[in-house]
Structure 1
């Protein structure tokens, strides 16, 4: 879930109301696109500190603009802010070795929007098999059925590649993902403020999975990726 960091975030407050109404107790919080991700991460850290029982923080980095300081940014995010993951977006720049190596050093999952660049998934899986990557929107927020279908094969083949469900309109692909890769390969995502968390949550409920599998998608898989187990958490 991204947050626009404006004067105590009215967008974030609206999300919190929506999430609470839907029964979502915990969320991943990171900055939206920003000119200075170090400053944006600090703003997110203040929100996480204010609501420590509600949010997990991810450090947003720009693979090109932040080149040479990514390790330092991640170190600050982990040691000073208590963040538990890294976020990068292809719209900024293609993910870099520096980002992946920082994730490896701190044993953090990376949420990376590939913007349909499936070859990048192969590169990540092959060169960084010890780093966990979460590919949001099943690989395509633009609803490319071909890209999302092709990602299913990679989810089945690569142990360190995972997907999130946010914005996936082709419901049958979510069902096929579970059939082919298992419930452990999918994480629930809301992509608020762009999407409504209750709508996204309903898609998971409609899969009508056994309770244990549903709980993996809603919380367990994420908590496992960050090295934490916390029963009863529904995160997005």
Structure 2
């Protein structure tokens, strides 16, 4: 992410220099597009899980991986004290230009000294953990940043369906080198510039719940999506 591909693309769109979308390549042998207009969607254009999550926010909010600031700006408009956090310089610049009052440019694990009532990790924000083995580290960082009665709202997906076998007997085919089927490596390309590969985690609800319990957190399903996705709420036990 050192080239800040996402940040450059967001800045281009915000500055009315939109000519193409981000192309993503994944270890699942898939090529896909990340449409830049979608990164600037309003509340009505958001998926239902995001709308529900925003409706469950309370108190002071930290929007982790805030991107162009859609969720933060919506909450700010509703009177919340919200801070947008992102590791992308370009994303934070866009948030400021769009009117977000509080921003932090840093890696999530480096944040220290602040506490919030709600940690918001949408658009599969838990993906920043990269690997399942890192989940404990990130859950404990969430605990450090939460007020005693605080909550974490996050959405993710169970992507086991992507490994369905074409054989008549069904089943799933998962490569032996994969420790957990939800671990995916991505590369992004934008305007002939390519990012370094980065790891991204999709975690099924039961695995998340086991990890949360192990780390002293309660995990509840807030809403099940229609495409193996879900919205979860973490609180202190």
Per the TM superposition, whether the score is higher than 0.5 is: no
Instruction: Give the TM-score, by structure 2 length.
Output: 0.35
Which structure shows the higher helix fraction? 1
Does 1 or 2 have the higher relative contact order (CA < 8 Å, sep 6+)?
2
Larger-gyration structure (1/2): 2
Which structure shows the higher strand fraction? 2
Instruction: Give the TM-score, by structure 1 length.
Output: 0.35
